[in-house]
Each structure stands twice: as C-alpha cells, then as structure tokens.
Amino acid sequence: MTVLFRPRPSIVRRDSGLYGYERALARRGLTPVAGVDEAGRGACAGPLVVAAVVLRSEIDGLADSKLLTPARREELHTRILATARAVKIVVIPPEEIDTRGLHKCNIAGMRRAVAGLGCDLGYVLIDGFPVPGLPAPSLAVWKGDQVSACVAAASIVAKVTRDRLMTELDDQYPQYGFAEHKGYVTARHRQALTAHGPSPHHRFSFVTVNSVVRAGAGGEIGENGLGAGVA
C-alpha cells in the first residue's frame, strides 16, 4: 500500500515563479520531480491523452498549454522532448473511456504514465486531483499547469500530442471539423453530429453524443451506420 507523504511545510510564494514547487521539493531532497497532466478530458470525441514529464533543466517560456498559441506550444513541445530527463505519453481511446468511465481512465492513465518514465522519482505533482497508487510521494495541485513547470510541460506534451491526433482524424472524417474544435463541443460539432451521426471516434457515453444516437434511433440511418437524427 502506497503511503501518501508530504515534506515538511515549505512556503511556495506566488512570486516564486513556475519553478517554485520544484525548488521547494529539491530543498527537501525530493528529486527528481515528475509533472502529470492530461488533454481531452472534456471532449466528446477523440482520445484522452496523459503525459508525465521529468525536466532536466529549466525551459524559458513554459506556461499552461491553454494559454499558449499553437505555434508556441509546438516550439516548446520540441524543446521539452529534446531536453527532458524523461517523458511518457499514454493515449486512451474512446472505446476504453466508454467501457471504464472517464475518471477511472484518467487515473489509470496517470499511473501508467508515471510508471513508464523509467526512473526513480522523488515526488510527483499532478494537475487537479489526487492519484493513489503512484510509486512516489505525490501532491495534487490546483491549476498545477499554471504554477508548476513540470506540470506545465506535461500539459504541453499532452495537448500537442492530442491536437496532432485530432488533425489526423480530420483527414479521415472531414465532415466533423476535428482539426478546428479538436473533438470538443461547439455549434459546428453539434450540427455535424446531427447531420452525420457519430463517428467511431466519438465517445458514446457522453451526453452530447448519446442524445444524437437516441434521437436518431427511430429515424433514418446516418452514413456511419447510426441514427443521424433530424436537423
């Protein structure tokens, strides 16, 4: 059984910068530090992508992936992969999310990502919520991708990986606009679901997708073999 452990109290000031947590943990001898984050939790199509990152050195310009332009994310993604001590990416497909549930998949994905780093860890920082069963002491950090460098790095790796996968899906299913909205619910995405029915890469356990399936159950069949509903 893993025992949750926190170092002796250490104040991390708001003005200590994105590396404040890592420096505080280093002062306690708790290194290396892994950051864990995910992308695609709120989407109704496409995979959930979890990333774990152990940084080797400081990288200028790191920030929450959602606050960066796509071009800047790509640039930082390249730098992270080139300089990080360890990176592990876990991709969880929609069918697994439908079978096991989103939160269980997220927790399991984070465990797999940390285990796949291949190095002994001193501490793990997780964005948002606690993850039991990790091989090192850990702490869930609220908005961790905005206050911890390794979590920000993980958020960038997860986001860029997922965006690339969704762009590839757009080539196969251009009618849904995956390259534009990346599988999240938008007005255009709703319209595409109504017109074409869900694709095999939609999450059928999500209410937005499930409602389209139910609405079209007694109507005409969409091009993907599922009820298309009525516009």
Q: What is the pLDDT of residue 8?
A: 54
pLDDT(15) > 90: no
Nearest-angstrom CA–CA distance, 18 and 147: 5
Q: What is the pLDDT of residue 135?
A: 96
- Condensed to tens digits (0 to 9), the pLDDT of residues 147-156 reads 999 999 999 9
For the chain, which domains are there?
14-169 (3.30.420.10), 185-231 (no CATH)
Report which of 10, 34, 11, 6 is spatially closest to residue 144, judged by C-alpha positions: 34
Q: Please give the model's pTM, rounded to 2 decimal places.
A: 0.87
| CA-to-CA separations, 26 to 20, 85, 121, 142, 226, in angstroms, rounded | 10, 16, 12, 20, 54
Report which of 66, 44, 38, 48 is spatially closest to residue 185, judged by C-alpha positions: 44
How does the average pLDDT of the chain come out, rounded? 89
Specify whether the CB–CB gap between 154 and 141 falls below 8 A. Answer: no
Nearest-angstrom CA–CA distance, 70 and 22: 26
Find the mean pLDDT for residues 164-180: 98
- Condensed to tens digits (0 to 9), the pLDDT of residues 75-124 reads 999 999 999 999 999 999 999 999 999 999 999 999 999 999 999 999 99
